[in-house]
Amino acid sequence: MTVSLVTGGAGFVGSHLCDRLIADGADVLCVDNFFTGPKSNVSHLRREERFELLRHDVTIPLFVEADRIYNLACPASPVHYQHDPVQTTKTSVHGAINMLELATRSKARILQASTSEIYGDPDVHPQPETYTGRVNPIGPRACYDEGKRCAETLFFDFHRQYSLEIKVVRIFNTYGPRMDPNDGRVVSNFIVQALRGDDITIYGDGQQTRSFCYVDDLVDGLVRMMHSESSVTGPINIGNPGEFTMLQLAELVLRLVGSKSRLRFMPLPIDDPKQRQPDIRLAKEVLGWEPKVGLEDGLVETISYFRRRLTQS
């Protein structure tokens, strides 16, 4: 019997990961403090005997048994991680220490959900894993970016110092069902605005680009990484390299929703990166992974989720 612990398991990505692990036959312990992930994201799993849900804050040490630990606990959208920046840094740093110590005690493999924010506002494009980034350490995004950078440092130090088996994945923008409609992320923002007929808010001139990975593709990458040979530590980028301007994304969403919303231009937030695109050659080579779901198909699934959700509320 293999016990997989998922911190942040009630969140957007974590809940899909729990679904996948249960489907794969694992016992899953989902640990969450429900700060940004509602219990309803995993309520359908409570019928499963192999699924357990534990309310716990990862900034506090945890004493359980696990074979594999997926460390996803951390608010991921600027609205949420800037709400209590000190707690965000604590979640990344103290949370990483607590989970790494748990992995050391249980002799578990541990995977860190790191982020493309490690690269900051990059001057290398697309970003390979060897790029060390351009992050402002004192700006309003630093609690997240630097917290995640420090977590990576801790992972590699535990690996070097205690021979712990680590897996570090740098996740690029991911979207899909169960995103929070109010968290200010661009895909959910555009879809919700289009469905409600509200103006679509575009920051800056809308020419900044992002790449968008559908959540099922990301989860497949996380699972492949966890099962990779012990010599594979990462960091490995997981994301969809298809690059779109914000204007292109807005037009696609408007077309798929069939909405007549208009575009409204707003000033660009501080330290907002102009371009972000993963270099995924390493993921292809080492994990045999590449994204399969195109933006249009993924958006259709996500739009139908939000349509259902908005009619329920």
Ligand X SMILES: NC(=O)c1ccc[n+]([C@@H]2O[C@H](COP(=O)([O-])OP(=O)(O)OC[C@H]3O[C@@H](n4cnc5c(N)ncnc54)[C@H](O)[C@@H]3O)[C@@H](O)[C@H]2O)c1
* DSSP state string for 175-242: E-TT--TTS--HHHHHHHHHHHTPPEEEETTS--EEE-EEHHHHHHHHHHHHTS-TT----EEES---
**Residue 239 and residue 173 in contact, taking contact as beta carbons nearer than 8 Å:** yes
Instruction: Tell me whether residue 122 or residue 259 sits nearer to ligand X (CB atom).
Output: 122
- Which residue's structure tokens are 């696609």? 252
Q: Residue 208: what residue type?
A: Q
Q: Residue 179 Cβ, how far from ligand X at the closest point, in Å?
A: 7
Instruction: Tell me whether residue 122 or residue 261 sits nearer to ligand X (CB atom).
Output: 122
SS3 category, 51: strand
- Using CB atoms within 10 Å of the CB of residue 46, give its burial: 0 to 12 exposed, 13 to 18 middle, 19+ buried: exposed
The pair of structure tokens assigned to 72 is 């996803």
Q: Residue 178 Cβ, how far from ligand X at the closest point, in Å?
A: 8
Active site residues: 144
Which residues contact ligand X (rule: CB under 6 A)?
A: 7-8, 10-14, 32-37, 57-59, 72-76, 80, 91, 95, 113, 115, 171, 173-174
Query: For the sheet containing 68-71, what is the strand order?
Result: 51-55, 27-32, 3-7, 68-71, 109-115, 166-171, 236-238
